[in-house]
Structure 1
């Protein structure tokens, strides 16, 4: 049988993977086999809740435990494995620490290599051609578009993830969090701050508190 049969259903799907997924989702929805709202909820859970909570727990512990912080920066794979975070797409993790002098940012220029056990499913923008190209070429502009404006004296260091090495950014602990425990601190840490496209903000002031 020839392989260029344009009447075959597969040949009718668009070539771009994202468009193929959307086309299949539309077809299955029309047949009543899936609920788009349920799919969106599942994706949101893995993108923003389950996965990033693991990485946030790692960051919060590093903020509170100098010994763990040193171990994380020396051998992140072993440190996060000891916390129970390991598995496929989580091998060979390297932690890079933000400081007042250096801000770290992660990209995968070839595809979308990403530490799934720590951060969950990579966001769509991380996989986009625009981010993958511009993060290396003009990182400060990209950061500004994410709402991150750094002092001129702060250098930006871009790390290129690969199938062999995946990176976790250890963001700076925000001021005003000295009295918070690890659980509360973890609640402040976002997925994007562990990619380097956000900074961690301190807790919102209590209602009625003086500014």
Structure 2
């Protein structure tokens, strides 16, 4: 044998490329494979739908809010029949399957902010989210820190996003669930007089539609949200 040391230096072992798989991911894989095995859908159909879901973003919802700001009749329609209004901005909740998806084709409501009430959405149980019109949810929306704390300390959590509301404004936390989805219609900000729909839509960010931010003139959808550390974190 040569003088080479065969003892392994375990401290130099290459780390895995991904984090440890979660229980939810294990459940998703098992359920998906079972559905394919039972013929509920094929692997190709699953791939096509996944690609469809990945390309959805919050732009349709931003367009809906912008149109509501300039058209009172459309605003009334959006609050009264949000799925009908969704079609006006190119979103059919029945697509792409023709009958919707098990997790998305449910009741849908648009929550209007007022000078006295600020709305914010959460799914305290898991991660229910209006994907057909807002796209996939941000990672922080699915974390226990957001889900569990928002219903207990809403003002504190909003302040961590940089949103500090006056004491006179009530915060209404709306819990999404398996049968009902929500999005927020924020108030039109000052400094936007004379703007057209496309200009207005640019300042309606995803975070505004969730309720953790307010639209501001000059702050567009390209903004990067910085959050402060949680005071009462939940692991």
Which TM bucket (shorter chain)?
A: 0.7 to 0.9
Encode CA deviations 1:105-147: one digit per residue, 9 max, x unaligned. Answer: 0000111111111111100110011111001000000000000
Contact 1:52 1:118 in 2 (8 A): yes
Take 1:90 and 1:169, find their aligned partners in 2: how far apart are those partners? 18
- 2:83 corresponds to: 77
Contact 1:61 1:69 in 2 (8 A): yes
The size of the alignment, in residue pairs, is 167
Encode CA deviations 1:33-90: one digit per residue, 9 max, x unaligned. Answer: xxxxxxxxxx9xx5xx851111100110110110011111112122213432133425
**Unpaired runs of 5+ in structure 1?**
1-12, 21-42, 205-211
Take 1:19 and 1:168, find their aligned partners in 2: how far apart are those partners? 26
Contact 1:90 1:166 in 2 (8 A): no
Contact 1:116 1:122 in 2 (8 A): yes
Measured on the aligned residues, the alpha-carbon RMSD in Å equals 2.3
Contact 2:63 2:89 in 1 (8 A): no
Shift of 1:203: 2.6
Take 1:163 and 1:68, find their aligned partners in 2: how far apart are those partners? 27
Task: Identify, as 1 or 2, the structure richer in helix.
Answer: 1
Show structure 1 runs of 4+ deviating over 6 A: none
Contact 1:90 1:115 in 2 (8 A): no
Partner of residue 65 from structure 2, selected from 42, 59, 62: 59
Contact 1:68 1:79 in 2 (8 A): yes
For the residue of structure 1 that corresponds to 2:121, the secondary structure is strand
1:154 is the counterpart of 2:169: yes
1:197 is the counterpart of 2:212: yes
Q: Pick the structure with greater CA Rg.
A: 2
Shift of 1:176: 1.1
> Structure 1 134/84 Cα, relative in aligned 2: closer, same or farther at 3 Å?
same
TM-score by length of 2: 0.66
